[in-house]
Amino acid sequence: MSGYTCWEPAWHRGLPASVLGGMIAPGGVFQTRVGVIKHGMTSIANAVGSIYHPASAPDFVPLPLLRDLQFKRLRDVVERAWERVEWFRSHMRERGLSPDDLRSIDDIGKLPFTAKTDLRDTYPFGLFASPMEEVVRLHASSGTTGKPIVVAYTKADLEVWTSVMVRSFACCGLHHGDVVQNAYGYGLFTGGLGAHYGAEELGATVIPISGGNTDRQIMVMKDFRVTAICCTPSYFLHMIERAGQLGVDIRNLPLRVGVFGAEPWTQSMRKHIEELSSIKAFDIYGLSEIIGPGVGIECHCHDGLHIFEDHFYPEIIDPETGQIRPDGEEGELVLTTLSKRAMPMIRYRTRDITAIIPGPCACGRILRRIRRIGRRSDDMLIIRGVNVFPSQVETALLEVEGTLPHYQIILTRERGLDQMEVQVEVTPQMFSDKIGALEALNEKLVDALDHVLGIRVKVTLVEPQSIQRSEGKAKRVFDRRSS
């Protein structure tokens, strides 16, 4: 998650001076302070006395201008992909389409979808629209088959990414003067660097601590007088718990804002986090295929996530038929990168199920909102921020046993933390009458799963025939994380 504001020249030209310079917000909604300053602590930013950040100007651009901008950018990006990406051109031709068929933003519905499998099939560089000498960064995210999905950025793409992350942080009421502890993982995962550059460009003090080493996280949070944290919500809950064990009450620290993402979470989890830590928790949305974090963010109204639709055009479709659904109706979120250069994504199917919330937000932003993501339409699971595919579980079980035992995956949430249990039916080949041998097998399975998934999960050996057999497609996953 990260962002920074950069306005492309075209953007400048298309806007009236009042929008760019004046930062006029409609309706006087900025009377409300977003952040709560605890313990009389004054940050430079808040001393300014406004919760409105100049970087947020594009969030308030008048609707006709926004639609006009979106259309122009859509045409540009489609032309770019058409000219430079063989895969895209052939898919357009199959449908008898060319970029000239785009007459208005509504024509976006004619364009072919892009799916995650398309990224995998063109691995690693097949969808790049820029030559390598213009690509300045690569990131990758896990896929189902062990091969990751590779995404590329030009310098301009990174500037856009930083800009949307700056807008994201500004939307959460952060400013220069805030001290941001960035506990997203740094590396191939987009979370770490995305949030890093965004917070830095915002002018905040960034602590690039990355994930893990919870005791050190808590020490830093306390000693460096951290005011904002970025991480997965489940990891923050873990921090709260650990802080308690170390005798640190996060409620007494200057921390006031959490920017949480990379996994679905719920309203009740937010309530839980806010009660335990006295911070304001904001949901941030993004995916590496589109840019990384910073595709959408909650504002202080906490009523859905604003999509930075000047860069990422949202649609909701019926996941079965592909038909566009009207605002308010639930379906799969489809995103088009309107300004991406290195790797344009045209109508990318996110597999995230949500709805566009009709009507304006009380914060005054023109940007449309989506409901927070509750579930996905494919079999990918997100456990404590980590992408997990049931097929990976199979791979691990096969590795240990040579044959695939019957298994099922049970997901629960205990005190806000995702728990994954893999129940494995013991086969005669696996069975030993020595407790130690069975426990060693159990441990071996845990290790193999850790190796493939990157997380420790609970393995339970169960009796033969105790896992229900299905007549059709096996139901392997029982997600009981409803609260």
CB of 395 to other proteins, least distance (A): 23
Taking CB under 8 A as the criterion, the residue among 136, 461, 474, 477 binding other proteins is 461
| C-beta closer to other proteins: residue 244 or 464 | 464
Residue 17 contacts other proteins per CB under 8 A: no
Binding piece for other proteins, criterion CB under 8 A, among 32-40, 83-91, 302-310, 420-428: 420-428
Taking CB under 8 A as the criterion, the residue among 13, 39, 434, 473 binding other proteins is 434
Residue 483 contacts other proteins per CB under 8 A: no
| C-beta closer to other proteins: residue 343 or 426 | 426
Residue 432 contacts other proteins per CB under 8 A: yes
Query: Can you tell me the distance from the alpha carbon of 391 to that of 379, in angstroms, rounded to the nearest whole number?
Result: 9
Query: The tokens of 418 are what?
Result: 């995702």
Binding piece for other proteins, criterion CB under 8 A, among 219-227, 286-294, 384-392, 426-434: 426-434
Applying CB under 8 A, what is the total number of residues that bind other proteins? 18
Numbers of helices and strands, H then E, in the chain = 13, 20
Residue 440 contacts other proteins per CB under 8 A: no
Positive or negative, the Cα torsion across 450, 452, 455, 461? negative
CB of 478 to other proteins, least distance (A): 17
Residue 404 contacts other proteins per CB under 8 A: no
Give the DSSP H/E element, type plus range, for residue 444.
helix 435-453
Residue 410 contacts other proteins per CB under 8 A: no
Residue 465 contacts other proteins per CB under 8 A: yes
Residue 431 contacts other proteins per CB under 8 A: yes
| C-beta closer to other proteins: residue 145 or 432 | 432
Binding piece for other proteins, criterion CB under 8 A, among 35-43, 89-97, 332-340, 438-446: 438-446
Instruction: Give Cα 439 distance to the centre of its chain.
Output: 37
Nearest to 123 by CA among 153, 151, 144, 91: 151
Query: Can you tell me the distance from the alpha carbon of 372 to that of 114, in angstroms, rounded to the nearest whole number?
Result: 22
| C-beta closer to other proteins: residue 223 or 433 | 433
Please list the residues that pair with 139 across neighbouring strands: 151
> How far is the CA of 373 from the CAs of 109, 184, 334, 362, 377, in angstroms?
22, 19, 13, 20, 11
Q: Kindly calculate the radius of gyration of the chain based on its CA atoms and give it in whole angstroms.
A: 23
| Neighbouring residues of 476: CB distance < 8 A, sequence distance ≥ 6 | 390, 393, 407, 408, 409
Query: Can you tell me the distance from the alpha carbon of 449 to that of 407, in angstroms, rounded to the nearest whole number?
Result: 13
Residue 439 contacts other proteins per CB under 8 A: yes
3-class SS at 123?
coil
Residue 90 contacts other proteins per CB under 8 A: no
The bridge status of strand 348-357 relative to strand 375-376 is antiparallel
Query: Can you tell me the distance from the alpha carbon of 62 to that of 67, in angstroms, rounded to the nearest whole number?
Result: 9
Cβ atoms of 256 and 228 within 8 Å: the answer is yes
| C-beta closer to other proteins: residue 49 or 402 | 402
Residue 320 contacts other proteins per CB under 8 A: no
Taking CB under 8 A as the criterion, the residue among 66, 426, 449, 457 binding other proteins is 426
Taking CB under 8 A as the criterion, the residue among 463, 469, 471, 482 binding other proteins is 463
Taking CB under 8 A as the criterion, the residue among 117, 245, 323, 460 binding other proteins is 460
Query: The tokens of 460 are what?
Result: 């339970």
Residue 466 contacts other proteins per CB under 8 A: yes
> Edge-to-edge, what's the strand order for the sheet holding 407-414?
458-462, 417-425, 407-414, 477-479
Binding piece for other proteins, criterion CB under 8 A, among 154-162, 213-221, 307-315, 455-463: 455-463
Neighbours of 309 (CB within 10 A): 24
Residue 478 contacts other proteins per CB under 8 A: no
CB of 416 to other proteins, least distance (A): 24
Residue 445 contacts other proteins per CB under 8 A: no
Instruction: Give Cα 278 distance to the centre of its chain.
Output: 24
124 preceded by a cis bond (ω within 30 of 0): yes
Binding piece for other proteins, criterion CB under 8 A, among 1-9, 138-146, 353-361, 429-437: 429-437
CB of 59 to other proteins, least distance (A): 52
Residue 287 contacts other proteins per CB under 8 A: no
Cβ atoms of 58 and 70 within 8 Å: the answer is no
CB of 435 to other proteins, least distance (A): 5
Q: Report the interface residues with other proteins, using CB under 8 A.
A: 426-428, 431-435, 438-439, 442, 460-466
